Structure 1
Amino acid sequence: MPVKVPERLFALYGFMLSHERPVPRQRIRDSIDAYRSIGSDSAFERTFERDKAALRHLGMKIAAIQDYGETLYRIERENLWLGREEFTPAERLTLGIAARLWSDPNYANDAERAVRRLGYGEQDADGAVALTHVTPRLSGGGGHLETILGALAHGSEVSFSYRSAHSLDTSRRRFRPWGVGQRFDHWYVSGWDADRQALRNFRLSRMTSMSVRESSLPGAPEDFSMQSVLEGISESPAPEVVLRCTVGAAPVVLDWSESGTGLRLQEAFPETDSVTRIVEAAVDVPDVLEFVRCLAELGSGVEFSVPEGQELDEDSVRREVDRTIQRAIDLQGRVSAAVTDRDTEIIEPKRGRNRESNDRRFVRLVDLASYVGSNPGCAIRDISRHLHVSAAQVRQDIDALANASDEILGGAYLRVTAYDDEVFVELPEELGRALNLAPDQTIRLLLAIQLLGQVSPDHARTVEEISRKLVSGANGAGVSSDQLSIRLEPQIAKTVDALRAAADSGRMVEIDYRSRGQTAPSERRVRPHDVYSRGNTWYLEAESPAHAEIRTYRIEAIRGLRVVEAAEDDVVPAQRESRPEPARTLVWVAADAEPLAEVLGGEILGHADVPGSADDGETPQSGLVIEIDVIDWFSLYRLMLHHAGSMALWRARPWTTQWYESAKARGIDVAGSW
């Protein structure tokens, strides 16, 4: 049976560890069956280069040494294995909490595997103080964050297209990342710009078309601090625009201003003209593309003008708004065509399938060899408990380990024997040691730990010590904790801390809260239960005595907060009233719009390809089909327009008529939008 990639990686790792001196490439090929069976030299070269890249991705330093025209290879052993420095029970618990802070399930699962390899177990939750009444989440940032973290870990450089805040056009840039952080609910990366020959900062959401390669650009100096970079980030002067809309559109404009990405009101919303029912307000535009996306939500329902002297092309913005609306309508047409096409089907996800990467399974094979080597005759159930996988997976891994041992000169360096439920392994000392964390795992844990320190001052000292230990034992990550930073804005951090404290003590709070669809806030008295974030938005879940139920509030819409002592007759037992069931519908979300799918939530039914646009050469576009709850259809239409080209309803008929009717019911005229 052909050897699998993790088994071949293990064979290569085991063979190179068994030689302290550098080994010629040809000898490596002759000594491993999987390489020896490859027919051509070019095929071997490609396979060998991929395997080396996989091991290097895990942080292994594979040195290539030239000796009289021949290339020799050696694995450097410094920081190759998990360090001797142990984590205390409190630190292990904190690591376990941090591992769950990533909203992306792939990141979260990988981080949890990492902390278990550092010794975290279910027993660590006993007797320790956990994080209560606050559940922060780090947004995954999509594939771009994965690329940047990898480049940071390995000292690579990144080429990409970048759009500045006040432009609709992009330009190519090339830089080496020095640090990564999050502020203003956005990911930022700082590094050495090859073209400007200086330190520059970039917002991740404005970076596209990335490619990575080895770099000779300067790395981060010792005194570099991403926290200082984030503190120094300030928006360049934003152009001013004057908006005009009906009173019905005013709540939507307030929604945009609260999110702060596309526009910000310069002052409180002015009074409505009693005759025309028109509202006029001056706004700043911090990001012109986000401004366009906001305007597209209401189309002709909002008018704007650019005062003289402002650096913003009014005609270009209008054309882009029209194009954005048209992209949303065109996508819906293509999705509707796919729904009515009998040849198009939703391909269900393969549930229960092991989707871990080859390098992660290779790491588990090393952990398996290490554990069984230290515990001869251990039972399958013991291995299963130690590795946190099923007994069936353990048996598969034992078979894989045996196959890998056969690859190395007929098993001369590793022997696996299983008797009924007992497993024995004969192996050299080097193979009996657990591998260190991969560099990207270390970086993700450091970022999650920093977020934990921001929202939970009680964990600050523990967070500092964990960061020190993670950095001191880092394997090839090439980063310090100073190169990573998560910063909550003071007002958000203050509000989150006050609500968490109220939840801890069971006290009531009064909040001045603006609901969607309203222009002014109203006072609410609630008892906080939990504070959490999803995507880039923070929420409060609280008991509302006035409604006798649990309700959810956007923290960005809380204008005032006061902690109060509740009188006995104010307290009503929390219970959920029966409400009309929200509508259920299917939406299609483009495969490259992961953050949007995360915000929507719902149940992923599978993936489906839809016809491509003419601009893309009609190449089929892949995406997910998700079943979601819909409370307000108008908000859903706005979301599809804001993310034009990335989201559509999975149904045969278009939604433009419903969008028009929903807007009209709110006093907004969007008839001139198409």
Structure 2
Amino acid sequence: MSASRTERLLNLLLALLNTKYGLSRAVLREKVYHDDGGSDAAFGRMFERDKTELRSFGFEIETITEPGLTAEDPATTRYRIGKESNRLPDVHLTPAEGTVLVLAATLWERAALGGAAASALRKLQASGDLGEVQLPAGVQPRIKPAGQAFEALVTALNARQPVSFGYRAASTGQEERRLVEPWGLGSRFGQWYLVGFDRVRGAKRFFRLSRMTSAVQPETKDSYELPAGFDARKELDGLAELPLQDAVLEVAPDRLLGLRRRSAGLPGRPPADDGRELLTVPFRDSELFAEELASYGPHVKVREPAELRAAVVRRLEAAEAALSRPAPPAGFPEPAAPGRTRKRTSEDQLSRMLELVPFLVHNQGLPIQDVADRFGISRKELIADLQILICSGLPEGYPDDLFDIDWEDEHVYIHEHLELNRPVRFSPEEASALLTGLATLGNLPAQAGLSGDEQASALESVTVKLAGAAGEAGRTAASLAAPPVQPAEAGFFETVTAAIKDGRQLALRYFSPQRDTVSERDVDPLRLYSQDDTWYFEAYCHSKSAVRNFRLDRVEELAPNGRPVSTPASADTSVPLKLYTPSDDDVVVLLQLSGQGAHLADDYYAERTAGLPDGGLLAEVRFGSADWLPMFIAQHGGAARILEPAGLAEASAAWIRAALEQYGA
């Protein structure tokens, strides 16, 4: 759909919205399409495509016929769209409801549901009943969707399209192609799962997203029906956790402190021939544990079980195979844009315009750059939208029949909205993002100055209101079950929360697996935040004279040291943008990522990216420690390789080869 089609569809929508008795096809052809030279058949096909497009945006197009005549006669049939068609119902929120709603919306870190949640909030703000809610300093839970597979599955689920993908079964270790009707997505035991109907097996099955070995491909010409009453949360509640097993490991002397602390020892067994120590470490998931063990490279060797040993070797061999492939040309398009963005389409543009007009009506006079930032687009893209809008209007084309928007003084004002002053209904993605986020907050300690009862009451009432406003689109929320965000380290969580509130320093004893050391530090806590159920706190570290991030599950001791903070937390910086804080000492690394590993560009906040012909990416990423990079490459099993600096690439290759030599590979 080109920009001209965007404008045409917008004009068609305005014409159908602003007619009481309906407009005939001939009138629309003359006044909206300005088509007087094409064939009737060609125009008819174009008109039907445009009606289908408007219906895809949720607008109900009424067909009106004269009594005694049939709808097959285009000369007598008229069309219109009701004023209330696809309009978001009014949602009146209390301040407490607004606060928990914004907290729920900001759960989604990025990806499909992150953008959908932001869009849903803009619609509520455009309705005039949700003001600017300022989240308090201190706590921000976040959900991190599972890479590109998550994106593709959410899209297919909403479109009710089957998907196919390569999958390595846990029971056999064999890889095969699966054809599945996606019913729901959810997180349990620290992993994301797809539950759906496996057409090959003819039965319901669960699939762990991390076991998918290829991109998810939608079957766009096929469809299915979701089972009545399906609830992903209930389905996943019945999923049994994998049983505990013992891994027997050979560990280099004085290495891998974290593994040693999880080990039960091996009394009565001799040490390995090379003087290494034998450890038993309990685990549940061989693939997940193999990812960790592969990152330890030559410092650990798996003796048993065979399944775990094979998983580690397979990961290391994939990493070595990636190193042997020809390197792609190392370069980025100019001008280089930060991060990786999805290609925008004209469908995006029209959808944005339907959101932009009511937003401007209820937010008059905002600086133009602020508006662009709110919508996640550039200033140039916003001006392109506005220029299309001011050229669009009702069929007669008089000055009062056009949008009246002014931005000459760098502030945007809209004086004529042509019945687009109310936002359209939530999309299934938008409803899912908000309703799933609200359900996820149920076990989070009270925030934003609310008591536990106040937060619970606000969560319940705002959920009822949004479910009513979402209508049919809200049904999709039952197909998503986000991970729990309540902190497992409740004592440490409360200690950090209290220290942030009171402005007190903390004394910290902390284990770093990358450096394999335990350190003691005095820190000024700034904020708590999570990635799924893993909680972090950001603090100014006095020993490093810099801001650092600390995982709560790696904290060994934590208590106030009796001193006030020198860097108090503030609401202006309540939500960290990254888990990683850049510094001048960072190592800038050029990575080649496979299609399956492309999500690592987002996970590690790539500064520049460039697409590759095989679906992968070139990514320029900052790392705080070069020593950790061989571990990173081994861990991801062929999904990433270092291209530059050459010395780090060679060190990673040597690390992986040394690890494989232990297994005779």
Which TM class, normalised by the smaller chain length?
0.7 to 0.9
Q: SS state of the match for residue 623, structure 2?
A: strand
Matched residue, 1:553: 550
The answer on 1:366 being equivalent to 2:364 is no
Q: SS state of the match for residue 541, structure 1?
A: strand
CA 1:235–1:60: 2 relative to 1, 3 Å: farther
Equivalence map 1:437-456=2 (5 Å): 437-456=426-445
Q: Give 1:596 shift.
A: 1.4
Q: SS state of the match for residue 425, structure 2?
A: coil
Q: Give 1:466 shift.
A: 2.5
**Corresponding letter in the other structure for 2:459:** V
Pick from 597, 602, 606 the counterpart of residue 601 of structure 2.
597
Matched residue, 1:261: none
Q: SS state of the match for residue 150, structure 1?
A: helix
Q: Give 1:412 shift.
A: 12
The answer on 1:305 being equivalent to 2:306 is no
**Corresponding letter in the other structure for 1:647:** A
**1:294-344: CA deviations, max 9, x gaps?**
45435554332335xx7x396x5476245313223225x514xx34xxxx5
Scaled by the length of structure 1, what TM-score is found?
A: 0.73
Name the CA distance, whole Å, in 2 between partners of 1:454 and 1:463.
11
Matched residue, 1:219: 226
Q: Give 1:6 shift.
A: 2.8
Q: SS state of the match for residue 644, structure 2?
A: coil
**1:601-643: CA deviations, max 9, x gaps?**
2522x4264xxxxxxxxx5554133141332x23111111222
Equivalence map 1:221-620=2 (5 Å): 221-222=228-229, 224-237=230-243, 240-251=246-257, 253=259, 267=264, 277-283=275-281, 286-299=284-297, 301-306=299-304, 312=307, 317=311, 320-321=314-315, 323-331=317-325, 333-335=326-328, 338-339=329-330, 346-350=333-337, 357-367=345-355, 396-405=384-393, 414-416=401-403, 425=416, 427=418, 429=419, 431-458=420-447, 459-474=455-470, 476-479=472-475, 481-488=477-484, 492=488, 494=490, 495-506=492-503, 513-516=510-513, 528-534=525-531, 537-542=534-539, 551-558=548-555, 560=556, 564=559, 566-567=561-562, 573=566, 581-590=585-594, 593-604=597-608, 606-607=609-610, 609=612
Name the CA distance, whole Å, in 2 between partners of 1:170 and 1:20.
60
Matched residue, 2:450: none
Pick from 171, 193, 209 the counterpart of residue 216 of structure 2.
209
Q: Give 1:139 shift.
A: 1.5
CA 1:328–1:252: 2 relative to 1, 3 Å: farther
109-118 vs 504-513, which moves further: 504-513
CA 1:80–1:245: 2 relative to 1, 3 Å: same
Name the CA distance, whole Å, in 2 between partners of 1:164 and 1:231.
21
Matched residue, 1:262: none
**Corresponding letter in the other structure for 1:89:** P
Q: SS state of the match for residue 114, structure 1?
A: helix
Q: SS state of the match for residue 202, structure 1?
A: strand
Q: Is the 8 A contact 1:139 1:535 kept in 2?
A: yes
Pick from 172, 182, 186 the counterpart of residue 191 of structure 2.
186
Q: Give 1:161 shift.
A: 3.5
Matched residue, 1:132: 137
Name the CA distance, whole Å, in 1 between partners of 2:504 and 2:265.
31
CA 1:317–1:358: 2 relative to 1, 3 Å: same
Q: SS state of the match for residue 581, structure 1?
A: coil
Scaled by the length of structure 2, what TM-score is found?
A: 0.74
Identity of aligned residues (%): 22
Q: SS state of the match for residue 130, structure 1?
A: coil
Name the CA distance, whole Å, in 2 between partners of 1:75 and 1:38.
26
CA 1:411–1:351: 2 relative to 1, 3 Å: farther
Q: Which runs of 5+ in 1 are unaligned?
A: 258-264, 610-618
Name the CA distance, whole Å, in 1 between partners of 2:589 and 2:182.
42
Name the CA distance, whole Å, in 2 between partners of 1:535 and 1:489.
6
Name the CA distance, whole Å, in 2 between partners of 1:119 and 1:401.
21
Q: SS state of the match for residue 336, structure 2?
A: coil
Name the CA distance, whole Å, in 1 between partners of 2:584 and 2:185.
44
> What is the aligned length?
625
Q: SS state of the match for residue 144, structure 1?
A: helix
Q: SS state of the match for residue 179, structure 1?
A: strand
Q: Is the 8 A contact 1:252 1:517 kept in 2?
A: no
Q: Give 1:670 shift.
A: 6.1
Q: Which runs of 5+ in 2 are unaligned?
A: 448-454, 569-582
Name the CA distance, whole Å, in 1 between partners of 2:662 and 2:47.
59
495-504 vs 133-142, which moves further: 495-504
Pick from 619, 625, 632 the counterpart of residue 625 of structure 1.
619
Q: Is the 8 A contact 2:297 2:634 kept in 1?
A: no
Q: SS state of the match for residue 597, structure 1?
A: helix
Q: Give 1:180 shift.
A: 3.1
Pick from 149, 152, 169 the counterpart of residue 154 of structure 2.
149
